[in-house]
């Protein structure tokens, strides 16, 4: 079998897709009123701008989608898929022990099934909503046939985990300074985002690292407002102008890593202990 060679500077653009999940948590039983509608802004306006910009730049991205959003907004997911983009799963962390009893690892299977029901394809990737996950979560993801996780922030390059007994999971690390929400949540200007992203890319390109650009579809902390979409598009074009840069969907890059990486033990799982 011929193994495809990874580009010198692989880039993955991912979009955390949220319409009502986060706003509902804040607004509670009162519903989505007034300022608790930034997610809906992304669905009504911003998502389409992001999709248009990605198409113009020739970039296929990966959208991480919570199961509830997939059920409520089937047409939006189908528009994402029609653009050649990947749908991956996004979910709440599954803890080892909860006050009310054992962790509900079945949540992972339900999330995968919900997305597959909408798009007709089982998702290959998963991302924790708040960046927390456990050993048991990772093992369950592998058992469910997930190819990769994209939650950790511990490396400049993708790598792979293994429990030493055949369960493997590719990790596509992310980095806060290449996430739009890091800057837009505290109301930094788009000019600062341009400056930081350009500097980060220059350093990572020189170091031979991979570039994980993380976006959000929301109108408050995300890249869906008109000027922010332009920042995103300009940055994509800037990266594309450099030799050796290649844009991958997360599943495409993870598949390459799975073919070549020497897997390391899962953190907290010991040296391949049972």
CATH number of the domain to which 259 belongs: 3.20.20.370
pLDDT beyond 90 at 115: yes
pLDDT beyond 70 at 199: yes
Beta bridge partners of 88: 64
Distances (CA, A) of 194 to 31, 46, 48, 95, 198: 35, 19, 22, 37, 6
In a domain, 70, yes or no: yes
In a domain, 272, yes or no: no
Q: Which of 64-73, 78-87, 173-182, 230-239 has the lowest mean pLDDT?
A: 64-73
**DSSP summary character for residue 173:** -
Summarize the confidence of residues 179-197 as an average pLDDT: 96
Cβ–Cβ < 8 Å for 230, 30? no
In a domain, 92, yes or no: yes
**DSSP summary character for residue 126:** E
Higher pLDDT, 232 or 18: 232
Per-residue confidence band for 101, with pLDDT thresholds at 50, 70 and 90: very low
Cβ–Cβ < 8 Å for 22, 185? no
Summarize the confidence of residues 2-13 as an average pLDDT: 88
In a domain, 274, yes or no: no
Higher pLDDT, 251 or 163: 251
Q: What is the CA radius of gyration of the chain?
A: 18
Cβ–Cβ < 8 Å for 80, 87? yes
Q: Give the pLDDT confidence score for residue 99 in this predicted structure.
A: 47
Summarize the confidence of residues 50-70 as an average pLDDT: 96
Residue range 144-160, pLDDT digits in tens: 999 999 999 999 999 99
197 CA to centre of own chain: 17
Domain count, the chain: 1
In a domain, 243, yes or no: yes
In a domain, 149, yes or no: yes
Q: Which of 176, 184, 174, 195 is nearest to 224 (CA)?
A: 184
On whether the pTM is more than 0.95, the answer is no
- The crossing angle, in degrees rounded to 10, of helices 74-82 and 47-57 is 10
Helix intervals (H) in the chain: 21-27, 38-41, 47-57, 67-72, 74-82, 106-119, 135-143, 181-184, 190-207, 226-240, 250-260
Q: Where in the sequence is the domain holding 124, given as residue range(s)?
A: 9-265
pLDDT beyond 50 at 272: no
Q: Give the pLDDT confidence score for residue 93 in this predicted structure.
A: 65
Per-residue confidence band for 132, with pLDDT thresholds at 50, 70 and 90: confident
Q: Give the pLDDT confidence score for residue 28 in this predicted structure.
A: 67
- How much is the mean pLDDT over the chain? 89
| Max avg pLDDT among 91-105, 119-133, 233-247 | 233-247
Residues 6+ apart with CB under 8 A from 83: 51, 54, 55, 60
In a domain, 2, yes or no: no
Residues 6+ apart with CB under 8 A from 27: 33, 36
Query: What tokens were used for 69?
Result: 């959003």
pLDDT beyond 90 at 24: no
pLDDT beyond 50 at 54: yes
């Amino acid at each position: 079998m011929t193994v495809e060679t990874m580009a010198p500077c692989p880039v993955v653009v991912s979009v955390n897709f949220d319409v009502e999940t986060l706003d509902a948590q804040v607004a509670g039983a009162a519903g989505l009123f007034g300022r608790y509608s930034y997610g809906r802004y992304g669905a009504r306006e911003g998502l389409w701008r992001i999709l248009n910009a990605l198409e113009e730049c020739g970039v296929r991205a990966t959208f991480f989608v919570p199961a509830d959003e997939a059920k409520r907004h089937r047409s939006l997911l189908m528009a994402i898929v029609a653009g050649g983009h990947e749908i991956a799963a996004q979910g709440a962390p599954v803890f080892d022990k909860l006050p009310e009893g054992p962790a509900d690892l079945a949540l992972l299977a339900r999330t995968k099934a919900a997305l597959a029901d909408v798009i007709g394809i089982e998702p290959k990737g998963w991302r924790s909503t708040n960046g927390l996950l456990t050993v048991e979560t990772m093992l369950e993801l592998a058992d469910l046939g997930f190819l990769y996780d994209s939650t950790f922030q511990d490396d400049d390059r993708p790598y792979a985990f293994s429990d030493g007994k055949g369960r493997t999971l590719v990790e596509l690390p992310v980095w806060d300074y290449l996430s739009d929400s890091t800057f837009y949540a505290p109301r930094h200007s788009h000019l600062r985002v341009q400056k930081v992203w350009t500097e980060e890319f220059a350093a990572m390109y020189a170091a031979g690292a991979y570039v994980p650009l993380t976006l959000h579809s929301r109108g408050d902390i995300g890249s869906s407002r008109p000027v922010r979409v332009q920042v995103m598009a300009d940055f994509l074009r800037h990266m594309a102008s450099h030799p050796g840069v290649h844009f991958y969907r997360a599943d495409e890059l993870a598949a390459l890593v799975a073919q070549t990486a020497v897997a390391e033990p899962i953190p907290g799982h010991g040296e391949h202990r049972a």
